[in-house]
Structure 1
Amino acid sequence: MKIIPIKVQAGITGFESPAAEYKELGLSLDQLIISHPNATFIGLASGDSMQGLGIFDGDILIVDRSVEPKHFDVIVANYNGEFVCKILDMQRRQLVSASRAFPPVSILEADTFQLEGVVISAVRMFKQNVALTRCMR
């Protein structure tokens, strides 16, 4: 992967072509964001309940199954047959959204709950990737 060594601020009207000078780090994007490749999967965020934490509809979630979840970690879980991305409140046994528009959901004994992994990163998609969307269906 080639890295362009510039800092860009919003509102900049122009700058010298960064293509003239770049560094090759010899790292892939996988190596930069995935620590445990055999325990990591990606998911596609859906909905707006996690926008308060910067996770938007269509973002790519990097989820690591090997990370031990901690109180208030962002997790992906199978909750009553539906995959959800929520904040895990371990003390109250609740799944919490990052928006006040969505009330916390208690994890009851009668519920089916399977923690799938901890969200370690999210990648914002500014344009829809048709191939990724197709593969995630």
Structure 2
Amino acid sequence: MIITPKLLQPPSGKTSFPFYQSPVACGFPSPAADYLEDRLSLDQLLVQHPAATFFARAQGNSMIGAGIHDGDLLIIDRSLTARSGDIVIALLDGELLVKRLKLNNKKAELHSEHPDYPPVRLTAEQELDVWGVVTQVIHELRS
């Protein structure tokens, strides 16, 4: 899966949206639930480190098993140290990718989340630069 990075400037003023604190039932609704309204700022909810955060658009289906679909908006935090098992944005041989990082015996591998895509086992000749850790994925439910 390739990503298309777009560095977005944060809005000058924070925007907040109505937030109904009562959970929305996926089964049978609770008639006794209180429907308290509050305000919710999506940047405060989704972005932990604003100065180190950027957004990118996913392209392809190699990460579908991790819930990342073609066209999804990825939120990436550059301040986090990538650990084995994290989904990262990586620059590999000049190509930006989103993959699951696996560290085995101090060797890095990049894994897809789709059976049609084999892992990328890095060789000594390859250059890997981890740009950040994917912390959130936003995708539409309607096409």
Q: Could you tell me the TM-score, scaled by structure 2's length? A: 0.75
Counterpart of 2:59 in 1: which secondary structure?
Answer: coil
Determine if contact 1:80/1:111 at 8 Å carries over to the other structure.
yes
Tell me the distance in 2 between the aligned counterparts of 1:58 and 1:117.
Answer: 19
Whichever residue aligns with residue 24 of structure 1, its letter is: D
Tell me the distance in 2 between the aligned counterparts of 1:88 and 1:38.
Answer: 23
- Give the count of matched residue pairs: 121
Deviation by residue 1:65-99 (Cα, 9 ceiling, x = unmatched): 00111111100011111110000011141100011
Query: Aligned residue for 1:112?
Result: 127
Residue of structure 2 aligned with 1:7, choices 10, 17, 24: 24
Mean Cα deviation higher: 92-101 or 54-63: 92-101
* Offset at residue 127 of structure 1 (A): 5.2
Residue of structure 1 aligned with 2:37, choices 23, 27, 36: 23
Runs of 4+ in 1 over 3 A off after TM superposition: none
Higher helix share: 1
* Offset at residue 125 of structure 1 (A): 2.4
Deviation by residue 1:30-73 (Cα, 9 ceiling, x = unmatched): 10011000000011011101000111001110000001111111
User: 5+ residue gaps in structure 2?
Assistant: 1-16, 29-34
Residue of structure 2 aligned with 1:78, choices 62, 71, 91: 91
Counterpart of 1:90 in 2: which secondary structure?
Answer: strand
Whichever residue aligns with residue 125 of structure 2, its letter is: A
* Offset at residue 9 of structure 1 (A): 2.4
Tell me the distance in 2 between the aligned counterparts of 1:3 and 1:105.
Answer: 42
Counterpart of 2:135 in 1: which secondary structure?
Answer: strand
Whichever residue aligns with residue 3 of structure 1, its letter is: F
Within 5 Å, give how 1:1-137 maps onto structure 2.
1-4=17-20, 5-9=22-26, 23-25=37-39, 27-91=40-104, 92-126=107-141
* Offset at residue 101 of structure 1 (A): 0.9
Q: Could you tell me the TM-score, scaled by structure 1's length? A: 0.78
Higher strand share: 2
Kindly report the root-mean-square deviation, in angstroms, between the aligned alpha carbons of the 2 structures. Answer: 2.2
User: 5+ residue gaps in structure 1?
Assistant: 13-20, 129-137
The one of the two structures with greater contact order (alpha-carbon pairs below 8 A, sep at least 6) is 2
